[in-house]
Structure 1
Amino acid sequence: MNIDFHYGVVYIAARVGGMTAADALTVAHACQYVDDATTRGILRFKGGETFERFATAHKLFDYANTENDQNRLVWTPFHFLPAGEGETIEEKAICRPDSEVAREVVRRAIRQRDSETGLHRLGVTLHSYVDTWAHQGFAGIESPWNRVHLLEAQDCTRKGWLASLQLATAHLIERIEEDVLTVALPVGHGAALHYPDQPWARWHYIDGRNNFISRHNLPDFVQAAEMACRVVRAYLAGREDFETQAGLPDEVRDALTHLLDTNRNMDDNERLRIVCEWVKAGRIPGLKEAVPTYIAKGRGSWKFKATGLQGDDDTGDRPEWTSAFEESDYRLFHDAVKQHRFVTTQEILPARGLRIA
């Protein structure tokens, strides 16, 4: 899923689920920031203080990196949550929608609702949870299950420059591109390109075990929003049985389904803009307000507000440590990330017979 869902739709689900606008913003921002927190390592302050950060995503050109141990610590707990089903490690690592592992990860986050990182932890958790619908069938480790062959889609354009080519030429290029990516991107859904993250997409392919896989994203994405709303209601009530809570009202579900189906710009930031316009205009029943602009990097970002730093490479920069840093969203997010990663990789997955870290 992209920013239109992780920030825009999660904000809607949180507000409809009963959160204040301020808390919903924190949750939605943390949910999206999982895709943007690419700086890892120790943050060093001028006075000698240090703070450890874990990257929750790779930079764009690192997606194909072959450092499988690092892939496991990034893609597996945050983007391709394993279902823990099957016999081999490759089978257990496959992401399945709304798996029991995913539900346990959610329950652990709800259990920590009263901690200082509660909202940020919920946002991080919702990112990995809703991604189980989009990333189903793929794994965050190098695996034959991630291979994609004969990839085709309906009502989708692959890339802008392909639109002007004749159909036969486009199909030939797609086949070549697909074969190259299957080899070059052995982790996650890289070989499936952008299709898993497009809310409206209908597509199919042959996986690494020669199984025919047919996908229609829209009902999956709507179900993910439905469950996110249930999670928020349970979080606010302090109940771990989130699956029994009320989901989206029918009129909200219908409006959101229409929005996700018709908002088809290939630029996910443009799709987010449309989502925010709908909320501001009151086109989501019961919700009419401005959604604050999301800033991932630079001035106005969580990192900048906490440290004054703007770039990804901050190894040579040493900001002043202040008490404000301890209260910042940036610090709370990274501590929530540590908690989520530990609980997922050291407790929940080993209990399912999957040790990946």
Structure 2
Amino acid sequence: MQKDMHYYGTYVMARSTGISPIKAQVIASAAQFVDDNATKKSLEFKDGGALHSRASAHHAFNLKNLDKEDQRLIWVPFHFLPGNVAGGNFSKRLVCLKDSVLAREMVNNHLAQNEDFSDELMGVAAHVYADTFSHYDFSGISSRHNRIENDSFEFDLEKHKPETIKYIKKKQHDFMRNYPEDSGLIENIKSWFAENLSGALGHGAACTFPDRPYLKWRYIYEETGKHCAWRDNHATFLEGCEALHGMFVKYTQKKSGLTDRDPIPFNNIKNAVSEILAFEGPEKERSNKWIEAVSQKAIFGSNEPFPDYLGKEWLDKKAKMHGNDDSHGALNSPLYRFYQATSYHRHYVLRDLLPKKSLVVA
């Protein structure tokens, strides 16, 4: 998924459950920042303190420099949560499944935490949970199962406008031109298509077909030579929105001080959400549909401003913190709480959740 869902869609789902605008803004910003947190730069303070952060995404500007370990430490816990399919070998068990038992177990675990970083943690959970509704049937590690015949993509010609199909095919062509097989991507990460789907290779990558909420498409697996079932992104994204709404309802029930009004049942906003997801346009225009629904069309019953994404502000504050006299000030930063949340989530998934299912990934 892209920013239109990870920030704007997540904000609307959180706000519709009664979560206050400020809290919903932090949660949605954390959800999107999972994709934007792609650097490992550390901060040092004059009092001897330091803040070391790990990336939760990997934007591959130079594909030959990709770190294979990022598959296991970034893509698996944050973008392709394993589905643990019954009866499969290790590789098949790591394939992401939509709304899997493991995904719901992860959500319930995070809901039970009452740490200072719980809002940021729910944002991380929202990102990972939502991605299961777009990245399902792909794995976060190198796997033959992920390989797709590059010329096999089909799009529902009855559903989509001709200009949409033309735009999508151009995006695919641009990707293959910019990242040919000899770029090192195939060598270093065999599941080139899956890694591109994660968003960790950058939101500007061409083959982001699962990230487009309106698209209905299919392809042929290289390993079997068979078509996959038609992937109806609109239907699965709508399911994902309902799942996020339900998660946030549970969050308001477990933690006090979150809400400033009664929740709105998902069925009351379902048609409006469906209309937004069906819109065929680039990411920026899709994001504007969410903004319009809140600020102009009163999806919540009254018009209200749509708050800005906080990611840039967090990065600006991080840059200003470097070299400060006192490291204690970092503790009050939302960015520090985000790092606490991602550290907790990574450790929980790789050292607790997956090992309990006999999956040793990293």
- Residue 350 of structure 2 corresponds to 345
- Residue 284 of structure 1 corresponds to 299
Write the mapping of 1:73-152 to structure 2, written as runs, cut at 5 A. 73-85=73-85, 86-112=87-113, 114-149=114-149, 150-152=152-154
More strand by share: 1
Structure 2 gaps, min length 5: 198-205, 256-262
Partner of residue 197 from structure 1, selected from 211, 218, 238: 211
Partner of residue 303 from structure 1, selected from 307, 312, 315: 315
Partner Cα separation in structure 1 for residue 137 and residue 51 of structure 2 = 36
Do the aligned partners of residues 189 and 152 (structure 1) sit closer, same or farther apart at CA in structure 2, a change above 3 Å counting? farther
Q: CA RMSD in A?
A: 2.8
Partner Cα separation in structure 1 for residue 223 and residue 178 of structure 2 = 16
- Residue 47 of structure 1 corresponds to 47
- Do structure 1's residue 157 and structure 2's residue 165 form an aligned pair? yes
Partner Cα separation in structure 1 for residue 28 and residue 77 of structure 2 = 18
Are 1:189 and 1:196, in contact at CA under 8 Å, matched by a contact in 2?
no
Of 275-284 and 327-336, deviating more is: 275-284
Do the aligned partners of residues 175 and 162 (structure 1) sit closer, same or farther apart at CA in structure 2, a change above 3 Å counting? closer
Partner Cα separation in structure 2 for residue 157 and residue 3 of structure 1 = 21
The number of equivalent residue pairs is 330
- Residue 242 of structure 1 corresponds to none
Shift of residue 251 of structure 1?
3.1
> SS where residue 273 of structure 1 aligns?
helix
Partner Cα separation in structure 2 for residue 247 and residue 351 of structure 1 = 36
Partner Cα separation in structure 2 for residue 287 and residue 9 of structure 1 = 18
Shift of residue 222 of structure 1?
0.6
> SS where residue 203 of structure 1 aligns?
strand
- Residue 6 of structure 2 corresponds to 6
Structure 1 residues 68-94: Cα deviation after superposition (integer angstroms, max 9, x where no partner): 222210111001111122432211110
Structure showing greater relative contact order (alpha-carbon pairs closer than 8 Å, 6 or more residues apart) = 2
Are 1:89 and 1:354, in contact at CA under 8 Å, matched by a contact in 2?
yes
Do the aligned partners of residues 157 and 44 (structure 1) sit closer, same or farther apart at CA in structure 2, a change above 3 Å counting? farther
TM-score (norm: length of structure 1): 0.84
> SS where residue 287 of structure 2 aligns?
helix
Shift of residue 227 of structure 1?
0.6
- Do structure 1's residue 275 and structure 2's residue 276 form an aligned pair? no
Partner Cα separation in structure 2 for residue 206 and residue 177 of structure 1 = 21
Do the aligned partners of residues 323 and 201 (structure 1) sit closer, same or farther apart at CA in structure 2, a change above 3 Å counting? same
Partner Cα separation in structure 1 for residue 76 and residue 147 of structure 2 = 17
> SS where residue 132 of structure 2 aligns?
helix
Are 1:135 and 1:189, in contact at CA under 8 Å, matched by a contact in 2?
no
> SS where residue 10 of structure 2 aligns?
helix
Of 201-210 and 29-38, deviating more is: 201-210
Partner Cα separation in structure 2 for residue 349 and residue 15 of structure 1 = 31
